[in-house]
Chains A and B, each alone.
Chain A
Amino acid sequence: MRAEAPVREQPREHPMESLLRMDRIPHIWCPTCGIGTALTAFAAALEEREIAADSVSIVSGIGCTGRVAGYTKLDSYHTTHGRAVPFAVGLHLANPSLKVVVFSGDGDLVGIGGNHFIHAARRNVDLTVVCVNNFLYAMTGGQAAATSPLTANTSTSPYGNFERPFNLPLLAASSGAVYVARWTALHIRRLTKAFGEALEKRGFSLVEVIAPCSTLYARRNRLGTGLDLMKFYHDNSEIRHGADPNDLDIGFQEKIICGKFVDIERPTFLDAMNQRYREVFGDEYQEYGGSHG
């Protein structure tokens, strides 16, 4: 643990500091990693929408993105690999007054956590899921993930990945998510807006953030650094709101389609539960507001 480096030449503090655990900054992410940018957008969205930080709980899994919980100054839970979503489901259902955000990586959420991801979307549990997609398992050294593009070089696909990756917006939409958007870390303002919309949306919302991984994805595929990847996003991303999720596959160093693809209304898990029990039990049923003491 390093002592905080002496700060020179700045009479004021960074505006995000109230939402960061300053005793743990600087964080562990590599130079030109996009996770810090995603976190900045998230903090900005909380402020922009004036969402009370006390009511927000953030749950993350294992991985580089999973470390986000450790740096955010909210009620934060750093759980086991792939299990951030079910933990969040339990947390929210026991205490619906909490706004629960799952902030985790592509490997954690749709690799090992895939089953929980699709079922939580199916049930439409009121969660905001942020999936930072850097196309591999970064923390453990750059292994192939369910989102690695075809032909990408990773440490477990050293001759080029031959497995077709998931198309996350399609996965989420077909599972029943009510809000699905994808932005890159470069589309910082639209990303912030998407976070805000997802936070305020009732139901299972997914925001996929395409983020650069310098040390592993960029280096192994000889794409330069994270800055070069950001330049790639600049030149190769196309905004297509309302695009058909079937068209949103990402090829290796090919066009990335961004935008808001799904924004619908569906009863949440608790809505459906309350409605069913009211139908069956009539006035005898007391609408569920939280199990907590």
Chain B
Amino acid sequence: MTYVRRLVLDLLKPHDPDVVTFAESAADCEGVSGVNVVLVETDKEVENVKLTVEGDSIPVDSIHEAVEDLGGTVHSIDEVACGEMLVEESETPQD
């Protein structure tokens, strides 16, 4: 069984519910030990946020459902880390 340990999502959300509600909702999912939400861009009706979730076994589907229930949409999955240990992105010459 492979566990997702880190998930980074690019989200589009309405102004209401606020980012605190989004963070709390994601943190309430079982297997999640921490959440970070950063405001990337704000518009008249919507805002773009980066949601980072870490845990021993992140329920990816539940995170998606929690986001959609709050009226958000997942633009893209920007980062995923799986396995026994957490692996950071490694630098390449192109970086």
On whether the two chains bind one another, the answer is no
Residues of B within 8 A of A (CB): none
